Chains A and B, each alone.
Chain A
Amino acid sequence: MTTIEIDHTSRWFGNVVAVNDVSMTVGPGVTGLLGPNGAGKSTLINMMAGFLAPSTGTVTLDGTQIWRNESVYKAIGIVPEREGMYDFLTGREFVVANAELHGLGDAAAHKALATVEMEYAQDRKISTYSKGMRQRVKMASALVHDPSVLLLDEPFNGMDPRQRMQLMELLRRMGAEGRTVLFSSHILEEVEQLASHIEVIVAGRHAASGDFRKIRRLMTDRPHRYLVRSSDDRALAAALIADPSTAGIEVDTTEGALLIQAVDFGRFTVLLPKVAREHGIRLLTVSPSDESLESVFSYLVAA
């Protein structure tokens, strides 16, 4: 089990604070590092990858400092965001070179190329590759030494939907195998589809942590919207609005449902079934209508 621990870490460039007193633990499974562009995601990943020193705080891999410690790369595989990657080499030459730098041979390179399904183009120069192919070869270079930690900076940028799906499948598999996989993204649906655990960075600060529904619940001061269908919508609406956990209820006659705005998540989830039972009302549908990551994220960014 491999864990990256970020402890009260800040990083500034001149008088610009890129990462501000962030503490988080990244363990096995797939973790999504979510935040808008310029939030400090790359800075954070660069510190985890040992390419940047923290200004204060520590970034460690199983208790060992990462910065200025080449031995951590035995356990870490990195897929950088930047495109520079020895374009004059073929895909195979590139991955073989990466394997050799780990003290490994052609077999490891071949296995990694097979994992990312790039054998068919391995003898073409990297300069002729599409964005998705480059990304997969980068991935192969990060996997040659079978690392227990995989760090990926915006891995889905510029990929077409099919390539995106393939890479997601691969990362899911890596996570299920017990590897610590961390990827950054500013695209909410990517994180929602892939990550079992989410860390949200907004303006250099650690805004939230947990699975996506937990993050949503953390925002207790934010209204939650529910779509509810019942055997008697109006009676249910009247009973619910009496409680302070509900801020507003709209009777949507075309949908045949209630749109409820709850301001106290915890209280509301207890209240709803209780009220329904007391009034002999049957609940037919209870669904959060804005539990998409998009809405969670816009709350967090606005906060």
Chain B
Amino acid sequence: MDLLGFGDLLLSGTWVTIKLALTSLLFGLLFGLLGAAAKLSPIKPLRMLATLYTTLIRGIPELLLVLTIYFGGSMVLMAIAEQFGYTEYIEISAFAAGVAALSIAFGAYATEVFRAAIQAIPKGQWESAQALGMTPLKTFFRIILPQVWRLALPGLGNLFQVLLKDTALVSVVGLNDLMRQAYVATGSTKQPFTFYMAAALIYLGLTVLSTLTTTWLERTADPAARGGAA
């Protein structure tokens, strides 16, 4: 495939895409864990808040979320800053808006994955940790969370694939990611098929890579599948 010297541009876009995906993954996992903790909490308002979060976010398109945060986010931030006496114009970068939108969306789905994983761990483990004198918080971090990781991995792997593909949406608000750079290359070469196909193949490579990584992580997280000494 002849990229007419635009290969470097596509590669730089790929790097932005990877950075966006990994940063959103990090925050998304955090939102997911918080969401799951809220959904399983004994405090009713917290549970209701988490349910509102997951139903709302899972029901609206990711593109709409990206657009809302990019175009509406600065208005909200400026309104908040005004309360503290700051009246300058605040602009949200496309990258920040992308991370916010993608991690909020990822977090809503991850909440359900984490919730199911936490609930899959037998209650007896909580009780025996309590019998050993552990606080609930300590039990969560020492006993439950390490096992949740293994149970949640397949679900999270699928969600990361979705996240990776959704990064392309942030190009709509002008982030210089792979999709956007393909568009730029198209503008000066008039070869849209070549460059969108090149971008598609790079995305395909990234999703394959993420599948392989997930499979590898699943193996390392599960001693039984590894066939190691039990």
- A, B in one complex: no
B residues contacting A by CB (< 8 A) are: none
